[in-house]
């Protein structure tokens, strides 16, 4: 009876036993791996900044870690402004900035890793097929408040804008020569997916998001449509060709010119070895 019970217990805890054995076997293995890579790169890189870039850099980091097992790449998200601030103050080794560098950011060394387009999006059921730059400016500054004025149905326009500090906002403002304070928005959002979800849930909304995100969602049946800008269709293809007017480079930045581990990582992030990861995250590699 008691043997039977003991057996039962063993069976019950078999996964646990297997797990602890696996852990025990894993420890010597990892020690070996460490000594093998001792002469290679080692240490920890802290990378902070743009939430748009965070998933991509985290994936690149994982691949880098698998090449150099003693290296740790810690990616923290929080926005481009934070990427710049943290890199400047030395709180991070590398910052992520999802836009072109500004005049007053010349003190940082910037390295482009990928490109991304930004395009206006509407609900799929909205009959409007295209908007001129002037119309978009008028809508975002509150001069046009009804879809009727641009050839749509008689319904008020819900303007979806990005929160201050977001790079998509800055790309948008720069292209349309607007100031953040000029914009009269009904909804202010943060991340790209949130923009897609807001517009998909409101037939009368207009927003703008990363083309990669919008393309991915539109293909998978989310009810949105991508509007052309300046007559150029919004697609990752056109961003890569460099013909789409609203696009932004995605940068990683450092305070001083990078050396050692940071240099190796930046070179890796700019190499062809990560192009598949860049496409996987719906961005556009720099060159093909």
Partner 1 sequence: MVKMMERNLDGRELLASTLVWSAVALVTATFCWLLGDIIWHALSHITWTFLTTPPRNAGREGGIGSILISTTLILGVCLGVSVPIGLGTAVLLAEFTTDDSLFGRLTRRSLDVLSGVPSIVFGLFGNAFFCKTLGLGFSILSGGLTLACMVLPILIRSTEEGFRAVPTGYRLSAAALGLSRTTTLVHLLLPAAVPGLLVGLVLGMGRAIAETAALIFTSGYVDRMPESLLDSGRALSIHIFDLSMNVPGGDANAYASALVLVVLLLAINGTASWLAEHWLRRRIVTI
For partner 1 (CB under 8 A), the number of binding residues is 31
Q: How many CB atoms lie within 10 A of CB 175?
A: 18
What does DSSP say about strands 71-77 and 205-210: parallel, antiparallel, or unpaired?
A: unpaired
What b-and-e string marks burial along 107-119, b requiring 16 or more CB atoms within 10 Å of the CB? ebbbbbbbbbbbb
Tokens found for residue 91: 């709180």
Nearer to partner 1, 131 or 252 (CB): 252
Binding partner 1 by CB under 8 A: which of 42, 63, 70, 76? 76
CA angle 224, 166, 235 (to 5 degrees): 40
Binding partner 1 by CB under 8 A: which of 159, 262, 281, 284? 281
Q: What's the closest the beta carbon of residue 139 comes to partner 1, in angstroms?
A: 24
Residue 115 bridge partners (DSSP): 249, 284
Binders of partner 1 among 198-227, rule CB under 8 A? Answer: 212-213, 216-217, 220
Whether 146 and 156 have beta carbons less than 8 Å apart is answered as yes
Nearer to partner 1, 65 or 142 (CB): 65
Q: How many CB atoms lie within 10 A of CB 182?
A: 13
Binding partner 1 by CB under 8 A: which of 196, 199, 224, 284? 196
54 forms part of the interface with partner 1 (CB under 8 A): yes
Binding partner 1 by CB under 8 A: which of 64, 172, 244, 282? 282
Whether 60 and 104 have beta carbons less than 8 Å apart is answered as no
Nearer to partner 1, 76 or 141 (CB): 76
Per the listing, tokens 């590398």 go with: 94
Nearer to partner 1, 170 or 217 (CB): 217
Binders of partner 1 among 96-155, rule CB under 8 A? Answer: none
Which region, judged by CB under 8 A, interacts with partner 1, from 119-127, 138-146, 229-237, 276-284? 276-284
Nearer to partner 1, 29 or 287 (CB): 29
Q: What's the closest the beta carbon of residue 246 comes to partner 1, in angstroms?
A: 18
164 forms part of the interface with partner 1 (CB under 8 A): no
What does DSSP say about strands 71-77 and 43-49: parallel, antiparallel, or unpaired?
A: parallel
d(C-alpha 154, C-alpha 145), whole Å = 10
Whether 269 and 111 have beta carbons less than 8 Å apart is answered as yes
Binding partner 1 by CB under 8 A: which of 18, 91, 130, 243? 91
Residue 232 bridge partners (DSSP): 229
35 forms part of the interface with partner 1 (CB under 8 A): no
Residues in contact with partner 1 by CB under 8 A are 46, 51-52, 54-56, 58-59, 62, 65, 72, 74-78, 91, 190-194, 196, 212-213, 216-217, 220, 280-282
């Amino acid at each position: 009876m008691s043997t039977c019970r003991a057996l039962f217990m063993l069976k019950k805890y078999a996964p646990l036993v297997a797990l602890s054995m696996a852990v025990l076997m894993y420890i010597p293995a990892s020690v070996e791996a460490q000594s093998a890579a001792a002469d290679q790169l080692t240490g920890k890189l802290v990378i902070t900044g743009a939430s748009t870039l965070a998933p991509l850099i985290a994936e690149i980091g994982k691949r880098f870690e698998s090449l150099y097992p003693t290296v740790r790449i810690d990616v923290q998200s929080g926005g481009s402004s934070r990427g710049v601030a943290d890199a400047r103050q030395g709180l991070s080794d590398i910052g992520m900035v999802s836009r072109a560098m500004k005049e007053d950011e010349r003190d940082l060394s910037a390295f482009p890793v990928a490109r991304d387009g930004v395009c206006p999006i509407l609900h799929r059921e909205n009959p409007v097929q295209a908007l001129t730059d002037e119309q978009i400016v008028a809508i975002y500054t509150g001069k046009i408040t009804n879809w009727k004025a641009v050839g749509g149905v008689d319904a008020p326009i819900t303007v979806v804008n990005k929160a201050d500090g977001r790079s998509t906002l800055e790309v948008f403002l720069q292209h349309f020569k607007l100031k953040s304070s000029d914009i009269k928005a009904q909804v202010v959002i943060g991340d790209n997916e949130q923009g897609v979800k807001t517009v998909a849930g409101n037939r009368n909304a207009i927003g703008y998001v990363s083309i990669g995100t919008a393309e991915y969602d539109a293909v998978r049946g989310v009810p949105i449509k991508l509007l052309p800008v300046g007559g150029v269709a919004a697609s990752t293809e056109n961003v890569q060709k460099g013909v789409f007017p609203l696009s932004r480079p995605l940068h990683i930045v450092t305070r001083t010119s990078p050396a050692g581990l940071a240099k190796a990582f930046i070179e890796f992030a700019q190499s062809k070895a990560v192009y598949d990861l860049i496409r996987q995250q719906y961005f556009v590699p720099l060159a093909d």
